[in-house]
Chain A
Amino acid sequence: KNQVEQSPQSLIILEGKNCTLQCNYTVSPFSNLRWYKQDTGRGPVSLTIMTFSENTKSNGRYTATLDADTKQSSLHITASQLSDSASYICVVSLGSYKLIFGSGTRLLVRP
């Protein structure tokens, strides 16, 4: 069964601290993996997209890694800001239009 599992389910950190979110997937065939940020009351916004041949990709303070062998990905947030408070969703593409969404990690950054 194609699944995307994320951990932790929720996370609270202090402003300025770093954090890492995890994503494990059992999806085949694998086309690409995306990380989305979803603010409360808004639609998801793409942060990074990686194909199986890419190990890491950065977008500002966000860095995503991918290990296609172990089927694991992580999203590292550096020097967190209050505006980073959101849900972060890991999405794996099977190919064509088919996307498998994780349930997300809710991040709260406190001052």
Chain B
Amino acid sequence: DAGITQSPRHKVTETGTPVTLRCHQTENHRYMYWYRQDPGHGLRLIHYSYGVKDTDKGEVSDGYSVSRSKTEDFLLTLESATSSQTSVYFCAISEPSGGWETQYFGPGTRLLVL
């Protein structure tokens, strides 16, 4: 499982509240990613990180921010949660595999915004 944990695993929150999801890895991987998965859309990239304090936007970054102050943690923050952000959120890391990087995913966080 590439040493990836996500917390919380389930969360229910109200519209307008800030929410922070945590991705933690134990194997010192440089690259980390946040995706969301919704019915009919597959997985979509929200933000990614290519090193400590180095992050960039993915294809669905509006309403989200990220931070990476140390290698092992990549935080995803919903600044003011909306019902459209109800989703399953997956964190991923990249690990060298056969000369290339392969992404491995965490178990996911189910978020419900009421």
**A is bound by B:** no
Chain A residues near B (Cβ < 8 Å): none
